[in-house]
Structures are given as C-alpha cells and as structure tokens.
Amino acid sequence: MFIAAPARVAAAGLWCVLASAGALAQPVAPIAIRNARIVPVAGTPIESGTIVLANGVIKAVGPRVDIPAEAVVMDGTGLTVYPGLIDTFSEVGVGAPAGPPAGAAPGAPAGAPRPATRPIRGPEDRPGTTPWIQAADEFRADDRRIETWRNGGVTTVVTAPRIGVFPGQAAVVNLSGERREDVIVRSPAALPISLSPPAGGGTFPGSPMGVIAYVRQVFLDTRDDAERQRRYAQDPRGKARPDHDRSTLALQQALQAKIPVLMPAVSARQISRAIAFGRELDVPTVIYGAHAGFEAAPQLAKARVPVLVSARWPEKPRDADPDADEALQVLELRDRAPGTPKALVDQKVPFAFYSDGLATPAEFLANVRKAVKAGLPADAALRALTLDAAQIFGVNDRLGSLETGKVANLVVVQGDLLGDKPVIKHVFVDGRRFDVPADAAPAGPAGPRGGAPRPGEGDRR
C-alpha cells in the first residue's frame, strides 16, 4: 500500500479524498512513486527508483530523480511498477463480449470479426461491408468491461467492431473510463478483415474461398474508384461524376493512412495463404490468431509480417465426446500452440498478444504464463504485452514503456506480474490513479474457461 511521505501528509490526504471514487479529475499536483522497483521495458530494470507523473505523462524516471516540491509522494517499497498492458485486439467498448463466432469458418480465431446473421447491405449492396464505421466513434466509456480489464492491469486496448467481412476500423483506446473524446490514442489504427462467410448460407460470399474472392474484388474496386476520382478531380468538365461509394472511400482513406490490415490465420497453411494474400493486395499485413506459428515462424520472418498471437489456446470443447477420435493435427496444435511465441522470438518476428474472447484479464495473463512455461523468455512476454504491441500499431512513441514524455499508463504490482501470484495494487491510466479492490479478479492463475476455436480444419478446403 502506498503511504504518503510525512512532509506531504496534507496533500496526500486531499489526494485520497479525490481518489476514493476511482476515476479522477485531472490531478492538480504531480505524483511521485519512490523506492519502487521499476521495469521500464525499454531499458534495464531499476531496483530502487522514482517515477514522476504530471498532466497525464511521465515527467521523470530513474534511480535518482528530483521530486517537485508540490508533488504527492507515494512510497513504493516492496512494489514493482510496470508499463500498462495492451490488449491488441479487443471488443471492449464497442460491442458485446467476444466469443467463438457463430457461423465462422473452421479455424477462425474466436475473437475474429463475426459474420452477420443476415447480410449487411449499404447503398453499394456490399454484403458484410461497413468499413466506414470507426471504433473511435462507437466507443462507450461506460462499458462495464473497462473496469474489469483495467483492474487486471490492461490500460489500453485496440478495439474494433466485429460484425461482417469488413466490420470497420479499429482504434487504440486508453481505459480510463473518461468520455470518448479523452481516451482515443490513435484512430484509425487498423483495418480488421474476416475471411468467414456470412452465417446462415444462401448469400454471397457463401464459402471461405468466396470471401477471399470478394475481399480481393473490394480492394480492386477501391483502387479503381480512387483512380477515377483522381482523373475527375484533375479535369471534371464534360465527364460524368464518379459514384459516391462510401465503402471504397473509407478503404481509400485507410490505404492512404497505411494502417495495418489484420488478416486471420490459425493453421500453417492459413498463415501462408494470408501472407500471400496481403502481398497480392499490397497492404501492410498483420496476421492474427497464429496458433500454428511454431511451424510458420521462418516464413513469417522472411515475409517480415508481424503477428497478433491469440492467448486463447486451443483446447478440447467441454461438451466433446470423450471417446471420440481426434485428428493428429488437432492434437498437435493443442499441444504445441503455447510454444508459438517462443518460435516467433527465435525467428525475430514482431508479435503481441490479444485476449481473443477470454472473459477476464486473469485468464489472459494465465495463458501468457503458459507461453512462458513453454519457453518464451519472461522479458519477451512483457514486451509483447507492452512495447512490441505499441510498435505494431504505431504508438510506441507514446505507449508501451516507462520513459520520460510517454503517457502515464502504469501498473503497480506486489510480486512479479508474470509470476504465479502477483497482486495488482494500483493502475494509472493517463496519469489517473485507480486503486484495485482486494476482491477484484486476481491477476494470478485463472480457473477453467469456455471452448476454444476449432483450428486446422479449414486446411482441408
């Protein structure tokens, strides 16, 4: 527990009054956490140091730091300060809790954009295509999941709509619980794509290969429309005005911004196909899912394609027949998937973790620990949850490490965050302090969870 220094008892008392309700107004004085172990991620851990926060950013960090006279000082003896964690593909704030997508193609990641139960048709009559939807515009700061994930040390999510083939554009969002305008870190941040056909059948595209053909055509239409608009803008006289297609206009803006296109792939064959498809579309590709990355790591390294690894490791569904035979490739994937992060590190493939429909941060971190037990170095696991995650989405200049000038997103822990029994005591988001209740979900090992995606079966197509 933090204890205010005696010289600043009055100021600390005022701070405690302000903090008692959880979310804070902008602090009127800097905050200094001293005598804490500090893990900056971007540098060597500081065994006993001080970090100073003011106006939502880190003002100073190091073993010897001058503390402003007006600062509220907190004693971090026995505690460790980490950068806030980043969940790199989430639905927090923009949709219902994610789970295995109904009607998804076999092998689709559980948290992938979900196919619509009926065709989503805009004025351009494009099924499942709403790329103009921005997560930043849809974000709900009153989503109850924000507090749950923040209490587990997740201070930032890359959140996105999930319904359709082109469901919309993702945003990087801080989980302070403040109004929408105050929490957006970057928007748009990514363009997620689903390769699952719409549920229910009877509509185009009605198969995984049909979806691939459809996605290809949409990108061709986008570039064709952009060229027609360019020519019309140069000399409009005597020419028919190009149609207003908000799907291709939104995609043009995404392509111009060079935000990553998130492409689903679980098996090695799917990963190979996604790499080739991204190259064909000429877009900056990031693969998500990637449970078979242990097999595809050399190919990912050669292609220089980053990966978002699903922390929802494949497991046998609870309702499965215990006597039923299972394919060897399914058993192998279930056994070896937690070794994928180590294989990616060995091949120097940039990667990060995402929760993929897991219900709690306790489950999320417990599954990251499984990767550590499978050989992933603990420092690489921490980077994948912080700085490497920020780098994939182009926000490493402001998030992901404890450095002067970066956003004050911190997790204060008793114990080792990736150890067996860490206790998260405090979380700071944009410099705002949140005390984690003792009865909040623990950051330590979680109990059993629901069913996992069905990996590998799509390879037979």
The rounded distance, in Å, linking the Cα atoms of 421 and 419 is: 6
The rounded distance, in Å, linking the Cα atoms of 148 and 440 is: 8
pLDDT in tens, 405-448: 999 999 999 999 999 889 999 999 999 999 999 877 556 654 43
CATH number, span 6-83+403-435: 2.30.40.10
pLDDT in tens, 272-297: 999 999 999 999 999 999 999 999 99
Whole-structure pTM value: 0.85
Task: Give pLDDT < 70 ranges for the chain.
Answer: 1-28, 96-125, 198-203, 321, 323, 441-461
Tokens of 371: 């990767």
The one-character DSSP state at 25 is P
pLDDT number for residue 110: 52
Residue 28 to residues 52, 62, 141, 432: CA-CA distances in angstroms? 14, 23, 23, 11
Question: Which residue in 292, 277, 127, 166 sits closest to 216, CA to CA?
Answer: 277
Q: Where in the chain are the domains?
A: 6-83+403-435, 85-397+446-460
pLDDT in tens, 130-144: 999 999 999 999 999
- Is the link from the previous residue into 453 a cis peptide, with omega within 30 of 0? no
Would you call 289 helix, strand, or coil by DSSP? strand
Tokens of 446: 């979680």
Task: Return the CATH fold of 85-397+446-460.
Answer: TIM Barrel (3.20.20)
Strands of 193-350 (E only): list them: 261-265, 285-289, 307-310
The rounded distance, in Å, linking the Cα atoms of 333 and 337 is: 5
